[in-house]
Amino acid sequence: MEKRALSSQQIMGRRILRDIFNAGGLLLISAHSIISTEHIQILERHGITLTSQDVAEMGTYSEAEAFEYGPVIQEAVVQARRLFHEIRETREIPLADLRKNVIPIIQEAARTQQLFGLFACLQAKDDYTYRHNIAVGTIASLLGIWLKLPQQELMQLATAGLLHDVGKMLVPEEVLNKPGKLTGEEYEIMKSHTVLGYGILRETVGVNHRQALVALQHHERMDGSGYPFGLTQERIDAFSRIVSVADVFHAMTSKRVYRHPAPFYEVLSQMEKDIFGVLDPVVTRLFIEKIMQSLIGHSVRLTDESEGIILTVHPHNPTRPLVQAGSRFVDLSQDLSLHIQQIL
């Protein structure tokens, strides 16, 4: 293939195929990064010009990248199913086993730069209960990394996310796995999983109070509309607020027995609305911004049915990015008549 130098405009939003080093051998940009304005400034500062062989075509991601964590996540789901069945039988949490066989997978997956591929692997196609626990642990860990939590707290958060729904193992299976809508009485039984989970975690050696609070509080909401106690704002522990965001995102994007998954972009838009009173605003805003940044270079379909590529994301309005659709540039933060209909 012929090498040709590319301008800054031509490489914006494209995926870089190799590590980029400066003249002294210092790594400047890691392979598989999506080129942003900051990357372009770094390249210009060091006098580096990229060629057509350095970057992928717009919007292309290899199958290997998209499914890099597929087998790993599936192994975690298998292990979680085995261990959570053990919890249902013994009413004890095999914490050492979880730390050995599941938590390391969650921590490894949370380090990926390919968020969209990871979310595709985590999306529940089957075994929702177990896959959801893995997903919440992983997404909570991602959030913890982005929030720059200390390493010890990251380990605690991963465990708390994995075990946030452990109380469901004490809920009757006919209620937990009911294919249709729950009756009022059944819903109250289901809601008890928060208190039941807190109880079993408090009895588990090696689990601290904050981790147990996640099981108790992950359905609480900032405006007091949640359960079991209707807590508000700072009365909800920070770990619980992080796990709530992970829980809501994965539940809404997953196929359930009684409903289809909501489109990815619609979920982010709803979560953006939930910043005002429902979910923790700092955690939710960070989550949305990081996800949208990871989609730079991805193809999208707009509500006028045109297709384009996300070029840049506005920090203060992340769900309305700049999109190149053919020869035109559509700034969704300015053109409010359009929005993203689908991420392709």
Q: What is the CATH number of the domain that holds 166?
A: 1.10.3210.10
For residues 310 and 294, what is the distance between their CA atoms, to the nearest angstrom? 10
- Do 77 and 9 lie in a common domain? no
- Do 38 and 177 lie in a common domain? no
For residues 203 and 145, what is the distance between their CA atoms, to the nearest angstrom? 28
The CATH number of the domain where 48 resides is what? 3.90.105.10
CA 140 to chain centre: 8
Q: What are phi and psi of 157, to 5 degrees?
A: -65, -40
- Do 240 and 302 lie in a common domain? no
Cis peptide leading into residue 228 (ω within 30°): yes
Write down which residue in 40, 57, 74 finishes a domain. Answer: 57
Task: Write down the mean pLDDT value for the chain.
Answer: 87
- Do 166 and 85 lie in a common domain? yes
In a domain, 291, yes or no: no
Identify the band that residue 295 occupies on the pLDDT scale cut at 50, 70 and 90.
confident
Q: Please tell me the least confidently modeled range out of 19-23, 261-265, 306-310, 336-340.
A: 261-265
**In contact, 332 and 321? CB cutoff 8 Å:** yes
Write down which residue in 15, 34, 57 finishes a domain. Answer: 57
- Looking at residue 235, what is its pLDDT? 96
- Do 117 and 241 lie in a common domain? yes
The top-scoring range by mean pLDDT among 184-193, 250-259, 297-306, 323-332 is 184-193
- Looking at residue 112, what is its pLDDT? 77
- Looking at residue 19, what is its pLDDT? 86
Q: Please tell me the least confidently modeled range out of 73-87, 116-130, 157-171.
A: 116-130
User: What percent of the chain clears pLDDT 70, i.e. is strictly above it?
Assistant: 90
Higher pLDDT, 40 or 272: 272
- Looking at residue 1, what is its pLDDT? 46
Count up the domains in the chain and report the number. 3
- Do 109 and 146 lie in a common domain? yes
In a domain, 111, yes or no: yes
In a domain, 282, yes or no: no
Average pLDDT over residues 269-291: 93
Nearest Cα neighbor of 239 from 227, 247, 249 is: 247
Residue 228 has pLDDT above 70, yes or no: yes
In a domain, 266, yes or no: no
- 29: β partners: 20
Instruction: Determine the structural domain holding residue 186 and report its residue range.
Output: 64-261
- Do 233 and 88 lie in a common domain? yes
In a domain, 34, yes or no: yes
Identify the band that residue 124 occupies on the pLDDT scale cut at 50, 70 and 90.
low
User: What percent of the chain clears pLDDT 90, i.e. is strictly above it?
Assistant: 48
Please report how the helices 281-294 and 264-274 are oriented relative to each other, as an axis angle in degrees rounded to 10: 150
In a domain, 281, yes or no: no
Beta strands in the chain, from DSSP E residues, in sequence order: 20-21, 27-29, 299-302, 307-312, 322-325, 328-331, 340-343
- Looking at residue 206, what is its pLDDT? 94
- Do 30 and 79 lie in a common domain? no
User: How far, CA to CA in Å, does 30 sit from each of 19, 305, 311?
Assistant: 5, 34, 19
Q: Is the pTM of this model over 0.85?
A: no
Average pLDDT over residues 163-191: 92
- Looking at residue 177, what is its pLDDT? 84
- Do 41 and 71 lie in a common domain? no
The top-scoring range by mean pLDDT among 69-83, 118-132, 287-301 is 287-301
- Do 252 and 326 lie in a common domain? no
For residues 88 and 176, what is the distance between their CA atoms, to the nearest angstrom? 12
In a domain, 288, yes or no: no
- Do 181 and 310 lie in a common domain? no
In a domain, 284, yes or no: no
- Do 146 and 129 lie in a common domain? yes
Write down which residue in 243, 261, 279 finishes a domain. Answer: 261
